[in-house]
Structure 1
Amino acid sequence: MIAGKLLGVDPLELKFPFELGKQISCFLQLSNKTEDCIAFKVKTTNPKKYTVRPNMGIVLPRSTCDVIVTMQAQREAPRDMKCEDKFLIQGFLTSASASLKGIAPEMFTKEPGKKVDEVKLRVVYVAPPRPPSLVPKESEEGLLPRASKSENRNLTTILNASKENLKPQERSEEATVLISKLTEEKNFAIQQNNKIRQELELVRREASKQHGGFSFMFVLVVALLGILLGYLVKA
């Protein structure tokens, strides 16, 4: 917390998890630890880029006020993710009978004999959190069966379609649950696929030992296993 002479401001920096084409908000808390009312105003060097709610108000004695700063959706990423924008929080003592309608912007101008408290804040862009990876760790690769190209394409298609239908604010939580569920179903299908292939190979070997011929029962078993195998691969 930055402690001005009148107002306490938290946090020190306005951190925005920068994403192109997305509105992003962060929060400020103003605290009044005095026994008087404090009028405040929030200014920025780039007013077209940010919306501040409320941008002006009164903090009662021994209380706090939350301020929401929203950055408008940006079309281009800044070089090196650096931002030169700054904010200024101004405050001055006012009477307990003062109301917001009686607070005018010119009242925050510094004049002789008038005490205006100021706290400066800077803007920082941070990288958004990355979604969990579907690639297994090296220690797990040897334990999991390899998926076919068609299975990988099907899983990718499902995941892409699901992401498009999700709202931006729901992607983080719902994508994690969906990815986990689809991965479990995929691994189960691959295991069943490999198991059926092994059983089919055993049946073929046993049949080949019997004078090199194929019995009617073997043909029936192969047909049933082939149908089940095809169903699992499509699933």
Structure 2
Amino acid sequence: MITTELLDVQPNELQFTFEVKKQSTCSIQLGNRSDQYVAFKVKTTSPKKYCVRPNAGIIKPKATCDFTVTMQAQKVAPPDLQCKDKFLIQCTVIPFGISEEDVTSSMFAKDSGKYVEEKKLRVVLTSPPTSPAFLPVNGELKQDLCYETSVEKDRVPNGVENIPSPQRGADNVDGFDSYEDMDESRAVKHAEELKPEKNAVELNLAKDFEELKSKLRTVNLKLKEADLTIFKLTEEKSMTTQEKNMLKQELELLRKKNNARRIMVGFPVLYVFLVALISIAIGYFAHP
């Protein structure tokens, strides 16, 4: 049986500096007082008005974890800056080895018999110290019209406004909504808003892709022409080398033939000398 509180929440309220058509953010720190792993989940009574990151997680023993709450830009200020929105932090002990992706709403169901600790935080709105947005006029708050010119600049991308929450289901705790359904609806709406821009980007990408394909085809044609030219030059070089070798062989044959002709046309000196000597001897003996 757990006798001490699992989480230490600091601060114990969410304080936002409220300005018309501007976002406001605050941070909450969760401290694990126990020696066990603790899973937590954040819920709110106005899920379309706030954005929590992360909205669920796991805290190690004696460790701390921060989550940030962003209040979406509002068109009008509430009377006297009074806000009835509330947040609920649920936590429970979990066994070692569970990852943050495994943290689900079923872990915090009280009918499961496990101990689930809950902490409620109220929302407090304060006006900026030097902001002209809240000037008392005849006992009422005055909204400065200069903020109208910055609507498009300060509006969040998903266009969330202060829309009354729909009828809540039976699984909600005292009117608190989980962020899972809220995040899914925001994603769908955001995807619808980005669809025209996405189509334009896809058209540009398709155009660029076609241009790249055309350039690639041109480069491939030039490479094929270069390969053909190189092949022709290689063939011409090979033929030239063969002709050069044939000319060398023919030249050697001509040289050999010329040497043979010289031998056949001329007579050796010794042979001529012997013939002359024999002729003289014959003439000497023939005429005593």
TM-score range, shorter chain: 0.5 to 0.7
1:24 aligns with 2:24: yes
1:96 aligns with 2:96: yes
2:61 partner letter: P
1:114 partner letter: K
Aligned match of 2:44 = 44
1 CA distance for matches of 2:16 and 2:70? 9
1 CA distance for matches of 2:46 and 2:118? 18
Structural mapping, 1:1-235, within 5 Å: 5-111=5-111, 113-130=113-130
1:139-171 deviation line (CA, Å, top 9, x unaligned): xxxxxxxxxxxxxxxxxxxxx9xxx9xx99xxx
Q: Contact (CA 8 Å) 2:5, 2:33: kept in 1 or not?
A: no
Q: Contact (CA 8 Å) 2:20, 2:74: kept in 1 or not?
A: yes
- Structure whose residues are more often helix by fraction: 2
1 CA distance for matches of 2:109 and 2:76? 35
- Give the superposition deviation at 1:101: 1.6
- Give the superposition deviation at 1:124: 0.5
Aligned match of 1:205 = none
2:15 partner letter: K
1:174-194 deviation line (CA, Å, top 9, x unaligned): xxxxxxxxxxxxxxxxxxxxx
1:185-227 deviation line (CA, Å, top 9, x unaligned): xxxxxxxxxxxxxxxxxxxxxxxxxxxxxxxxxxxxxxxxxxx
Q: Which moved more, 1:113-122 or 1:101-110?
A: 101-110
Consecutive unaligned residues in structure 2, runs of 5 or more: 132-145, 155-288
- Give the superposition deviation at 1:114: 1.1
- Give the superposition deviation at 1:13: 1.1
2 CA distance for matches of 1:106 and 1:64? 23
Q: Under a length normalisation based on structure 1, what TM-score does the superposition of the two structures give?
A: 0.53
Q: Kindly tell me the number of residue pairs found equivalent between the two proteins.
A: 133
- Give the superposition deviation at 1:105: 1.3
1 CA distance for matches of 2:37 and 2:26? 25
1 CA distance for matches of 2:34 and 2:91? 12
1 CA distance for matches of 2:122 and 2:103? 26
Larger radius of gyration: 2
Q: What SS does the corresponding residue of 1:111 show, helix, strand or coil?
A: helix
1 CA distance for matches of 2:72 and 2:112? 38
Q: What SS does the corresponding residue of 2:111 show, helix, strand or coil?
A: coil
1 CA distance for matches of 2:101 and 2:127? 40
- Give the superposition deviation at 1:112: 5.2
1:21-72 deviation line (CA, Å, top 9, x unaligned): 1010000000002110000000000000000000000000110001100000
Q: Which moved more, 1:101-110 or 1:88-97?
A: 101-110
1 CA distance for matches of 2:120 and 2:104? 21
1 CA distance for matches of 2:70 and 2:113? 35
- Give the superposition deviation at 1:126: 0.6
2 CA distance for matches of 1:123 and 1:14? 5
2 CA distance for matches of 1:7 and 1:107? 16
- Give the superposition deviation at 1:113: 2.4
Q: What SS does the corresponding residue of 2:106 show, helix, strand or coil?
A: helix
Consecutive unaligned residues in structure 1, runs of 5 or more: 132-159, 169-235
2:35 partner letter: E
Q: Under a length normalisation based on structure 2, what TM-score does the superposition of the two structures give?
A: 0.44
**Identical pairs, percent:** 52
